[in-house]
Amino acid sequence: MKKPTKFIFVTGGVVSSLGKGLAAASIGALMELRGLRVTFIKLDPYINVDPGTMNPLQHGEVFVTDDGAETDLDLGHYERFSRASIGKGNNFTSGQIYDAVISKERRGEYLGGTVQVIPHITDEIKRSVEAAAHDVDLVIVEIGGTVGDIESLPFLEAVRQMKLEKGEHAVSLHVTLVPYIKAAGELKTKPTQHSVRELRAIGMQPDFLLCRADRELPEEMKRKIALFCNIQADRVFSCIDVDTIYALPGFLHKEGVDDKLAAALGMWTREPVLDAWKEIVRRSLQPQERVTIGIVGKYVDLTDAYKSLNEALRHGGIANDCGVELRFVDSEKIEQGGVERFLGDVDAILVPGGFGVRGTEGKIEAIRYAREQKIPFFGICLGLQMAVVEFARNVCGLTRANSREFNATTDQAVIDLMASQIGVVNKGATMRLGAYPCQLQEGTLARRIYGRPEISERHRHRYEVNNTFRASLQDHGMILSGLNTAHDLVEVIELPEHPWFLGCQYHPEFKSRPLDPHPLFASFIRAAMDHQARR
């Protein structure tokens, strides 16, 4: 007889950005170490169909899965902390749910009945959650937003119904805030009490509380919270600010979170072995060496806009037992003059992906500086495209070289719109998205780094290197070391006379893990260490 799938529903209260996603990911990591097959679902209450058209400064990065889903950044946490296979069925927004229900109503599937939030919207939410629950032991479901938000109510109601239907096979974990009031010199439990009261008012009694605070909660305070929130005292856990996010699984295990969750769900599992995570924490906090990476972009006012990139660089540091300091440089400031003032003392330069013309000339100038000064350079997506523009202008003599995205009338569009994108009107989910294969040329830097002839990486873009100019680029020394042969598209470029100069059209950061750093980032950080040693 097949064992029933278990569910952990993760909610949050008081304020946003409490770390529900990291908590869910860390719990998933612990449960995997206990021998369970785990998957995750993120339910987001915004009306957008997906975050693909949202401003990164408002929402943070868009995380892309192998199957081409544009998802919330928390799905990146899920993949980094676990071996779960994440895809389109792991992230649902209000926009997707309402679109599915309205489409069914238009097709007559409700047989003329009145379509309502309950049961039609909540049923669609439950159906979506159940669809992702196959072939796993445990599903961790995170509900975005905070308890009390109007837009979150349909999701919370659906979770309430599922928790009732699943009985002993489901528990809820509520992440809440216990602030320290400096003037009073005390931790205050009232925000947590009010948050739980809001949750109970809609029919959900949390089974566990994860209390975010800047220090561990005294046992007496845990008992007080338990009393006023109608929860067993040994199910109230501290969740403090840790020095590195990779210390969180170890801290939650020390608090007994995974033990208590497994017991409550009737899952008899082995004790987790955390040696690998402990070494990651050691290398993160006490590295043997340190380097500084200059990240030249235009979303530098919100580092969450580059969440996966930031973590992948740190993973590269972990692979080399090297601490990585990230220096974010606004490319528009470089345009105003003084590239050396911003980048003169960095050990390597990276230009990440992005959209829109703003700041592109600053990125081109930063790339020129890296090329001429022999500073390790890594260009990702738009970073590759700007590297091609810079090389075309300053080496190939194509002085009007540009991307069609930024100059629609240029006669030297070394970066041009993909043929499949011509005439596309809708912006959402219409780019080249998800995993595509790439063939690596023998004897190149990329081939040495990957150690194999074919790779698969995730994409998110509309523009490509224009094949019309490939011969000119190669004649002047650029190596097109990675190609998608099926569509005859350039995937990787490099400069052989440079110590480490590589651009890729894809986003390798989406596949990097602390336990398995992406080889490009590990090699890039190694190159930064070598450059530092040469200076």
Choose the catalytic residue: 211, 239, 322, 381. Answer: 381
Q: Is the dihedral of CA 100, 106, 109, 110 positive or negative?
A: positive
Contacts made by residues 215-222, CB under 8 angstroms, sequence distance 24+: 215/180, 215/187, 215/240, 216/240, 217/178, 217/187, 221/178, 221/187, 221/189
Nearest to 220 by CA among 207, 241, 238, 193: 238
Distance of CA 78 to the CA centre of its chain: 8
By the 8 A CB rule, do 284 and 318 touch? yes
Nearest to 241 by CA among 19, 12, 20, 73: 19
User: Cα separations (Å) of 165 from 7, 101, 269?
Assistant: 11, 22, 24
Q: Is 381 labeled as catalytic in the residue annotation?
A: yes
Measured CA to CA, the distance from residue 306 to residue 353 in angstroms comes to: 9
Which residues sit opposite 176 in a β-bridge? Answer: 211
Q: Is 289 labeled as catalytic in the residue annotation?
A: no
Choose the catalytic residue: 253, 315, 498, 507. Answer: 507
Q: The tokens 């969740």 sit on which residue?
A: 239
Which residues sit opposite 482 in a β-bridge? Answer: 440, 492
Nearest to 479 by CA among 340, 339, 384, 361: 384
Choose the catalytic residue: 198, 491, 509, 531. Answer: 509
Q: Which token pair is 417?
A: 């719109």
Residue partners of 300: CB distance under 8 A and separation at least 6: 328, 329, 330
Residue partners of 352: CB distance under 8 A and separation at least 6: 295, 297, 306, 309, 380, 381, 382, 383
First to last CA, the chain: 65
Residue numbers annotated as active site: 381, 507, 509
